[in-house]
Chain A
């Protein structure tokens, strides 16, 4: 299967890339291409031009300084999953990235492409939400920062403007007493998340819960922050019973997805099971 015809641009800087995007309103950004090329082959997307940002040096690299982990937009899932810096500063992200697709896909797919594509059944959006990520973007008008909470607008829609490129993902490095986990119930053929639960739990010195956050992939049109569950756990003893009731009493996904694979009601129940499982593992790791 061939994509329809397009012009190909390979800029060497972010500035050059956004100028090309600005001059070609229906151009698409190409990074690893593992979401974009398949939809172009099916002709679900027919951009007139591709802007290949895969060789822009400024979009590569993982670094940690001043309590922040910074990951370039073109860093691959494989690099994230196997980076000791990420495993230490944001183990949730490494765990989620290691569960995407298969090893061939993980060598090509990038964090920037994943988050910009905003497929709700992918594995990184909920991790970005749960970790309080900040997304740095650049357009012709300059650079700005968007919190993950404001970034995901709707199904495959983000706060990015047409001439903007996600350049870097910044995550506060995990502090002492914090544990996290990603628990995924995947579609057996595609590997996409029917429900993926990302949990981050921080414990006080006495073991009680200082804060908790639980976010989901796969259950709605965007990643979901189940903030009521996190809030109800704060101050609790994080026992299995406390987690069970926090999830059962406070988790509701009003616009849960129902499709040929799983009904909305099934996804709601699955979210409770996977959510509690992720919280228990995060607690044990905290």
Chain B
């Protein structure tokens, strides 16, 4: 049984007919062709699939596409507006990634964190990113990137 859904993805309207069991992560990657959103653990732990759903960071592997009907989604592809988003630039400048697999979700979570707490302490950054796992960096450069981005965005 297909269900018609209509979402705003990165500012553009996307409509489709989907099976109820289709996960939002798969919808974004396979139906909308936006493969920047990664599927890591597929068990709501790692945060690689994090996207903004109506402005809030959520794990798209644990949301049904039908639940997102009528909502606005921002993926990593939708952050840059000509230039890199300040968080993307800060990850580049501070070498906040190694293999890069966690990076799209990590950056989306940072954007969400800074939208609710524009000047987080180091502890608040580490705590705020507990839903995103990185197996390469040891997190230090990620924390530096968030501090740098916060400075740029407040500046």
Q: Which A residues are within 8 Å of any B CB, using their own CB?
A: 1-8, 10, 30, 33-34, 37-38, 41-42, 50, 52, 54, 78, 101-105, 107-108, 190-191
Contacts and interface: CB of A to CB of B under 8 A. Distances in A.
B113 interface: yes
Contact of B57 (A6, A34, A50, A103): A103
Contact of A2 (B23, B47, B50, B66): B23
Contacts of A104: 47, 50, 57-59, 109, 131
Nearest to B59: A104
A102 B62 contact: no
Nearest to B42: A1
Given A8-B66, A37-B64, A52-B66, 13 more contacts: A3-B21, A5-B20, A33-B62, A33-B63, A33-B67, A103-B109, A103-B112, A103-B128, A104-B50, A104-B57, A104-B59, A104-B109, A191-B130
B67 A6 contact: no
A41 B44 CA distance: 11
B67 A54 contact: yes
Contact of A5 (B21, B58, B63): B21
B19 A5 contact: yes
A7 B21 CA distance: 9
Contacts of A108: 58-59, 62-63
A268 B131 CA distance: 29
Contacts of A42: 43
B59 A105 contact: yes
Contact of B130 (A1, A10, A50, A102): A102
A145 B63 CA distance: 31
B131 A105 contact: yes
B144 interface: no
Given A4-B21, A6-B21, A102-B130, A52 B58 contact: no
Contact of A50 (B20, B47, B59, B112): B20
